[in-house]
Structure 1
Amino acid sequence: DYDAETIIRREILPSGKSRAFVNDTPVNLSELQALGSLLIDVHSQHETQALNDDDFQFQLVDAVAGNNDILRTYQQTLRDYRKAHTILQEKQAARAQAFQEQDYHSFLWEELVAAQLVAGSQEEMESQLEKLNHVELIQAQMAKVISILQNESFGVVDQLKESKNALSKIASFSPEYQQFLTRISSVLIEIDDIAAELQQGAEELQADPETLQSLQEQLQTIYTLQKKHQVQTIEALLEIQESLQSKMVSLTNLEEEIVQLEQEVSEYLQELEQLAHSLTQNRQAAVGPLVQELQQIVANLGMPNAQFAIDFPIKTTFIPQGNTGIQLLFAANKGGQLGVLKKVASGGELSRIMLAVKAIMSSKIQLPTLILDEIDTGVSGEIAHKMGEIMRGMSRNIQLFAITHLPQIAGKGQHHFKVYKEDDDTRTKSNVKALNEEERIQEIAQMLSGEVVTPAAIGQARELLN
């Protein structure tokens, strides 16, 4: 919850569990860390090495160049590009795999199409093949049946006709006899039809070696395909045929997707090129003022001949900061050859350069609070005094904490807190105490003279505070 004054609180219970709050609203630690990074910049004494880090150097230059909005757009575009590029590679791999299978799928599909499969035709062909394989036996048995049915005098048809005639003579005497006549008449009609159809079938059934061979070949093709695809019916083969056709259509769709993705990736690349170019242009334009300001600040810190330069070597790939690298070059002495900062700067020089960098960034990024933890390591005397002046200047824009052992810097603060430890019989406790004016004089004097505070140190402490 927003409030003009933000209070961050963390409760640590004796059990070791903890709870965190922002303005009395519970938050988890990840949320607390995310908020803290926006509110406070902590510079530890080891962070001086961050000067050698490319990300930190980019952050410095971009702060001066005002690249925040462009950089945010560029990094989102880079994420979109990498995502699209990954999908494109996956699709291309799938296409390569599909191409390997395409010929085989096409062969299987063409083989099925060539068989001219028709649902339900297998049973019909098998029946026809059985007839042609036994044509002589079928003809003989049909002739025998026809003879039994239609033989004159002794055939079933003639016998039924005589039975019908006999019943017709008595049918009028009783409904029962009429019913017998009707039933005999029905049987006669059915037998007559059967005899006629048998006669027609016998006449149509002829030995046909060519048709027999054709049926055998067609069925053998079907049986081979069924065995190959491990199915039992033509309907199942037709389903496989349709599936193979779908796979070939899918490959066509995959090609279209790849073309579309290639276009998308190309557009992202063009946009990245333009944004990266804008980033580099802004950075190059900012280098002059940045170098001048750095040199001016470090000159006040006892390095009047220090020189800086910043190079942007071109990269072959896009990185989160653009398409160039960065090199912060430094020379401490007049006429000295510029070299990579981490290779040529001493620890004391790095401390002073880091303070100059923080001073510049604090005015560009506008962090609410900056904590400098012994950034004065490796300096003393007049240089420490100058560093204190720079910190006091920074504190006009932001809230600044300086953790220091140097009296020259401690004397510049508006408030002074002493951190100290106390031992009792069981444990060591750390304490923080806000010093009043007299206590502050005593503390700074102790920094100057050591454990035994001298009147001269007291006088010098008063001068520092004034």
Structure 2
Amino acid sequence: MITSLSIKNYALIDNLQVNFNQGFSIITGETGAGKSILLGGLSLILGKRADLSSIKDVSKKCIIEAVFDVTNYNLQSLFEANDLDYEPQTIIRREILPTGKSRAFINDSPVNLNSLQILGEQLIDIHSQHQTLQLVDDAFQFEIIDALANNNSKLNTYSQQLKAYKSIQKELENLLSFKAEAIKEYDYHSFLLNELNEANLIEGELETLEEAYETLNNVEEIKESLILSSQLFNDEEVGLITALTTLKNNFKKISRFSDKYENLYHRIESSFIELDDVFSEIETFQEHLDADPERLDQVNSKLQILNNLFKKHVVSTVSELIEIKEELTLKVSETENLDETIQKKEEELIEVEATINKTAETIHKKRIQAIPELTKQLESILKELGMPNAKFNVSLKTSNTFYLNGKDDLSFMFSANKGGQFNELKKAASGGELSRIMLAIKSILSKYKQLPTIMFDEIDSGVSGEISNKMGQIMLQMSHTMQVFAITHIPQIAAKGNTHFKVYKEDIDNVTVTNLKKLNHDERLVEIAQMLGGIEISNSAMAHAKQLLN
């Protein structure tokens, strides 16, 4: 419920601050006093687009702020979904700057108009004769039936199941689409994969092959060098081994005379051992080094294969080729196993479809059971509102389509006159009748679900005193479970309110401003008397006003 409203520098309002209570609040005032301005300011809080022409003094900014008690509205999840700080006393502020730029805040957090509208829909329902078109909307008609059917829990379950169903359906569509494309590419991918498999790729083999190629391709030069090296080591007169042996023996003789000679001896001995090992390796290389044209061809062929693969796949290492092979293996495998995957997904879809059909059937049955009670209550209320022959013909048919709220097609037909043909609401009911139907529906809904604050804007226009009296009684009953406002010109309705506000104009320093005032009992008595008999209050009007208030 709205607990306070502050409007500064908006239209004819200079500075207005008003607090509201629970229950039924009345707003009255002469035509042109500014009730529409009040609604306009409130609409900005609910996310309506701002207009620079709305600013009273264009050198200052316009500020509209409202405080709402949202304790009983269960809006925590909505705040969380919109990344807002939840506060039981939620403050919504709207600013229009002199530049024309508009800013909005919820609990001091900047928000866009979409967030404002989403929250606003949960807080205030401003209803006028022009908004009765909501009555002909299927979603609203289902909302009425589902409220009586107590379908909220089942609809939440259905919504989750529908989300899962559509997700699986999308996955299946993607698989089928992928299959169509994959089949086109399967042969090409298979060819590439076979080529890579035949290459028998081994991590690090490129370096090994390149080394083998260099050795085999230069075998004569290497052999010649090894033979020469072997001769340098093994010559009986001047070979390195002979020289080092002599050197080692010489120092061995004198090593006992000094530590320094002994150290040199050990160093020479180490060098001898190392060179002797080198000599052995040279001998081994020499023994195993032979020209092998066949092996050279094999190595050269494998290198050529690798280089061709590098160019084809635009890579430079065997590791990258192995990665590509693994990717192609996966793609080919997916294509080969696609039918099995699709079949499993189809079976999963059938299973979820059966579950959602079961939930939709339960929703349908509960709606069927609720429809007679709905029509009974509607026709009873409308009879009291001067429509004794109003009849409704509401029927449901199960379709093959999963809608957002079930599988039902709804027919909501109406007849205003005895013996008249049933027709669509928008064709069968006048504007005044639609207003009364909407009031009846809101009255019924208020018994079954928590509704936001509702503001009826001259919904009583064009009705008689007795019917307006009943309308006032219905609004008063609604206010027992929710906050209700009525902007009215009808004294019978005005007298029903728990609280009464008057919108009025006054001239201050030759400037006309609109203001809103909470009336005390005596002021309220005068206001209702004037609504009954005009500015000049007669004794009979005053007596009638007292009677209405009592």
Same fold by TM (over 0.5)? Answer: yes
After the TM superposition, which residues 33-72 of structure 1 pair with which residues of structure 2 at under 5 Å, given as runs?
Answer: 41-72=125-156
Q: Which moved more, 1:90-99 or 1:77-86?
A: 90-99
Q: Is the 8 A contact 1:329 1:339 kept in 2?
A: yes
In structure 2, the residue corresponding to 1:390 is in which secondary structure?
Answer: helix
The answer as to 2:420 corresponding to 1:341 is no
Identity of aligned residues (%): 41
TM-superposed deviation, 1:327: 3.1
Q: Distance in 1 between matches of 2:458 and 2:65?
A: 30
Superposition pairs of residues 193-342 of structure 1, within 5 angstroms: 205=290, 213-245=297-329, 248=332, 265-342=349-426
Change (3 A) 1:423 1:96: farther
Code of the aligned partner of 1:404: T
**What's the CA shift for 1:291?**
0.9
Task: Say if 1:336 and 1:190 are closer, same or farther in 2 by CA, change over 3 A.
Answer: closer
Q: Could you tell me which residue of structure 1 aligns to residue 531 of structure 2?
A: 447
2:511 is aligned to 426
Q: Distance in 1 between matches of 2:527 and 2:278?
A: 134
Determine the C-alpha separation between the residues in 2 that align with 1:121 and 1:137. 25
Q: Deviations over 1:78-105 (max 9, x none)?
A: 3444455455555665666555554433
Q: Deviation at 1:293?
A: 1.7
CA deviations 1:92-150 (Å, max 9, x no partner) are 656665555544333222212212234555566566667777889999x699979x97x
For structure 2, the residue ranges without an aligned partner over 5 or more in a row are 10-60, 70-86, 93-105, 108-115, 255-264
Deviations 1:316-364 (A, max 9, x none): 4323321223332111112211111012210111122112212212222
Q: How does 1:154-193 map to 2 (within 5 A)?
A: none
SS across alignment from 2:141: helix
AA in 2 matched with 1:326: L
Amino acid across the alignment from 2:306: I
Q: Is 2:191 the partner of 1:104?
A: no
One-letter amino acid of the counterpart of residue 434, structure 1:
L
* Alpha-carbon contact 1:129-1:215 (below 8 Å) kept: yes
The structure 2 residue matched to 1:73, chosen from 157, 163, 168, is 157
- Distance in 1 of aligned mates of 2:387 and 2:144: 20
| TM-score (ref. length: structure 1) | 0.73
Which amino acid counterpart does residue 429 of structure 1 have in structure 2? Answer: T
One-letter amino acid of the structure 1 residue matched with residue 519 of structure 2: A
Instruction: Deviation per CA, 1:406-457: give whole Å up to 9, x if none.
Output: 22323444554433222331231322232425x4454334323344444554
Give the 3-state SS of the residue equivalent to 1:311 in structure 2. strand
The residue that corresponds to 1:351 in the other structure is 435
Q: 1:108 to 1:449 in 2, by over 3 A?
A: same
- Seen in structure 2, the aligned counterparts of structure 1 residues 83 and 8 have a Cα distance that, compared at 3 Å, is farther
Greater alpha carbon shift after TM alignment, 219-228 vs 82-91: 82-91
Conserved? CA contact 1:157–1:192, under 8 Å: no
Contact 1:367–1:398 (8 Å) recurs in 2: yes
Question: Aligned equivalents of 1:87 and 1:268: distance in 2?
Answer: 13
**SS of residue paired to 1:46:** helix
Distance 1:80 1:42 in 2: 36
Alignment partners' CA distance in 1, 2:281 and 2:146: 103
Tell me which residue corresponds to 1:404. Answer: 488
1:365 Cα deviation from its structure 2 partner: 2.2
> Measured at CA, do residues 369 and 125 of structure 1 come closer, stay the same or move farther in structure 2, by a change above 3 Å?
closer
Distance in 2 (alpha carbons) for counterparts of 1:9 and 1:95: 61
- 1:436 and 2:526 correspond: no
Cα 1:199–1:340 change in 2 (3 A) is closer
Match of 1:115 among 185, 192, 199: 199
Q: Does the 8 Å CA contact 2:529/2:544 hold for their aligned counterparts?
A: yes
Instruction: Give CA deviations for 1:147-206 in whole Å, capped at 9, x if unaligned.
Output: x97xxxxxx967679x98xx99xx99x969xx9xx9xx99x99999799779856xx846
TM-score (norm 2): 0.63
Change in Cα spacing, 1:356 to 1:118, as seen in structure 2 (3 Å) is closer
SS at match of 2:445: helix
Partner SS for 1:376: coil
Residue type of the partner of 1:321? N
Aligned-pair CA distance for 1:248: 5.0
Structure 1 distance, partners of 2:518, 2:209, is 105
Question: Structure 1 CA distance, aligned partners of 2:498 and 2:199?
Answer: 97
Unaligned 5+ residue runs, structure 1? 1-5, 150-155
Residues of 2 paired with 1:115 and 1:284: CA distance? 71
CA gap 1:7/1:354 in 2 versus in 1, 3 angstroms: closer
Q: Is 1:363 equivalent to 2:457 in the alignment?
A: no
* 1:379 match: 463
SS of residue in 1 equivalent to 2:308? helix
User: SS in structure 1 opposite 2:426?
Assistant: helix
Q: Distance in 2 between matches of 1:362 and 1:194?
A: 101
Residue 157 of structure 1 contacts residue 191 of structure 1 at CA under 8 Å; is this kept in 2?
no
Query: Residue type matched to 2:417 in 1?
Result: N
Larger Rg: 1 or 2?
A: 1
2: distance between equivalents of 1:87 and 1:69?
27
Amino acid at match of 2:492: Q
Contact 2:503 2:514 in 1 (8 A): no
Question: Greater helix share, 1 or 2?
Answer: 1
The aligned amino acid for 1:310 is V
Say which structure is richer in strand: 2
* Cα pair 1:411 1:444 within 8 Å, conserved: yes
Greater RCO between the two (CA within 8 Å, min separation 6)?
2
CA contact (8 A) 1:306 1:333 kept: yes
Aligned residues: 443
Do the aligned residues in 2 keep the contact of 1:61 with 1:287 (CA within 8 Å)? yes
